[in-house]
Amino acid sequence: MKRLSAMLTVLALSFFLAAQPAAAAGFPDVPDTSRFHDEMNYLVEQNIISGYSDGNFQPKKNVTRGEVAIMIGRMLKLDGTQRNTKFKDVSKNHGASGYIHSAWDRGHLSGFADGTFRPDTPISRGDMAMILSRIFWSQAGTTGEFSDVGYNMKASYAIGTLAGSHVLTGYPDGTFRPAAYVTREQFSAFMARGLSIEFKQRTMKTDGYAYDLTKTYIYAKSQGEIQISYKKVHTKFGGNAFYGYLWEYKDTSDGSIEYIDQTEDKDGLYMVFPIPHGSKELAYPIKVNSKWQPGMDMLESNAITGVNKTVSTPYKTFTNAVEVSNSSGQKRYYVKGIGEVKVVGKTGETVSELKSIQ
């Protein structure tokens, strides 16, 4: 279960600043087949990142701390006018000095204990996470876990929260590699996800049962509707403030709102509440008679009691639903690529059913 929690040698920098943003499809070294083609071009269109004077994007080139300051500064529309800074290695003449000063003044960037900023040093994935966590602040929802990111690591909280909010991703072997350098294409992907839910969605399993982050789900119930949408929230739980993206469950019958996070991994689908517990809704792999304990209550149990079930809803009739029965006699139905489509009570009454997806 997921735990809750409630970024240029000098010559390269000069090229970076001198180049004007190229047209979205204008980089010969960024073909349509590039993994992060859309993310890179999205940032170019937003005037956050630029190409180089030779017309290339250089997606595999490492990003430096100075470049990060420039890109964050452009995104936040900070004052990039060159000026003196508090860092002894960033003079007024340095191309990134204005953005470094502005980002430092806002608390987005920090330097080192020796009074330097090291603008021309490539940035590591761990340091990048700490910087981006100050920009895309998140203190709600699940946290991602990686085999090479321990709790005592300086960047662990930033890495975990940004991974949980679908901004950062790791590698297929389960590592994050916090000491590795960040390339321009990787930084583009992370930044684009922080700015756009559409790019967050691209990090999700393509064959899973989780909700689509870009959609709004409307469920009919006996009185009113439940509207479920993924949005950035600022709320309180137990007297503590929480910021970040969560699924908002709005009951139209009484106007009440509940916030829940959803996460999916190789072991299952989870609903996680903004307090330290969650519920395992589905266990993977999908298999009839598979049983599990959904939460902390030892008396509760869930089991997959059917696959390829036919389920009728106002939205449509599904023929490929997975049926999950719990120890209270309630049945829930899930469809791949959509999520939960219907809930039936122990006496056969419909509790809720999918009405529309917008």
Distances (CA, A) of 74 to 13, 80, 242: 15, 8, 27
pLDDT, position 297:
74
User: What is d(CA 283, CA 301) in angstroms, rounded to the nearest whole number?
Assistant: 12
pLDDT, position 311:
98
pLDDT, position 295:
79
pLDDT, position 307:
97
> Which residues, other chains included, contact 14 with Cβ-Cβ below 8 Å and sequence gap of 6+?
8, 95
pLDDT, position 11:
33
pLDDT, position 239:
66
The alpha carbon torsion through 298, 270, 261, 238 (nearest 10 deg) reads 10
pLDDT, position 164:
87
pLDDT, position 237:
65
Look at residue 37 and give its three-state secondary structure: helix
Long-range pairs, 298-307, Cβ under 8 A, ≥24: 299/327, 300/326, 300/327, 301/326, 301/327, 302/326, 302/327, 305/331
Q: What DSSP designation does 250 have?
A: E
The predicted model scores a pTM of: 0.84
Under-50 pLDDT residues of the chain? 1-25
User: What is d(CA 123, CA 7) in angstroms, rounded to the nearest whole number?
Assistant: 8
